[in-house]
Amino acid sequence: MEVIIRPDADSAAALVAQIIARELRANPSLVLGLATGRTMESVYLKLVRLHRESRLDFSLCRTFNLDEYVGLSGSDRHSYRHYMNHHLFLQVNVDLRNTHLPDGMAADLEAECRHYEERIRRMGGIDLQLLGLGQAGHLGFNEPLSALRSRTRVKALSPVTLRQNAPLFERPEQMPRRAITMGVGTILECRRCLLLATGGAKAGIIARAVEGPITSMISATSLQLHPRCTVIVDEPAARQLQETDYYRWIFDNEPEWEPFR
């Protein structure tokens, strides 16, 4: 795992967008794992700008999102399908048929979860997975006690998650209590993981995720098992990390990061 600390949320999101753009340019048919949440909005804004101003091409790109609420159709504006269409897919030249999210309206949810895993496998696996961080440390909707080897499945949302995301609904009781999420095991199989967390409210959970012991209570700690995971934070989110001098030294000296310094 490596940790990159940027001065503010905007430059942290810009770095994430630049890394995605570089991977996409190197491999136009990249299988890209995507995430939702407020933090990602700024990444998608920058990707849209790179598409418009620097011709970043999504035409061959395939995407898989981490999760979707159970019981919301893609046309519901609270669904993650709607979020993705709005913030990214309809703003760039991705082929919508190449964009995948779990179907939260599927009659047989277990079969839907199995099919999702199959679709990922058929595409050759995910090359680069973008990740946000819930306040309780979940990846996707891998709530406390998510097995470190779990696969795509239905998960009941924890009280912390319900509290965190309910303000995004007009009436809190509209918020579904369950979601389909890629499992921790599914995420750990991606070739590269990129986690973005910004703002002081994430400082405590980032420190536990990066420097704390691995535990199924905090699914983000599982990233310590991943061979190629980059965590990008801004200064406020880095405030409780212990080894920041070391992380900064690596960023300043590692040839891979030279174009981004």
The residue ranges that bind ligand GLP (CB under 6 A) are 35-39, 66-67, 132-134, 140-141, 161, 165
Q: How far is the CB of 220 from ligand GLP (least distance, A)?
A: 9
Enter the tokens of residue 53: 């101003």
H/E element, 238: helix 235-238
Enter the tokens of residue 39: 């933090």
Q: How far is the CB of 225 from ligand GLP (least distance, A)?
A: 19
Nearer to ligand GLP, 38 or 177 (CB): 38
Tell me the sheet residues that pair with 194: 130, 230
Nearer to ligand GLP, 104 or 140 (CB): 140
Nearer to ligand GLP, 135 or 224 (CB): 135
Q: How far is the CB of 67 from ligand GLP (least distance, A)?
A: 5
Nearer to ligand GLP, 65 or 98 (CB): 65
Q: How far is the CB of 26 from ligand GLP (least distance, A)?
A: 26
192-197 β-sheet, strand order? 2-6, 229-234, 192-197, 128-131, 31-34, 62-65, 99-100
Alpha carbon 241 to its chain centroid, in Å, reads 21
Instruction: Mention every residue, 6+ apart, whose C-beta is less than 8 A from residue 63.
Output: 31, 32, 33, 34, 84, 89, 94, 98, 99, 100
Nearer to ligand GLP, 37 or 102 (CB): 37
Q: How far is the CB of 57 from ligand GLP (least distance, A)?
A: 26
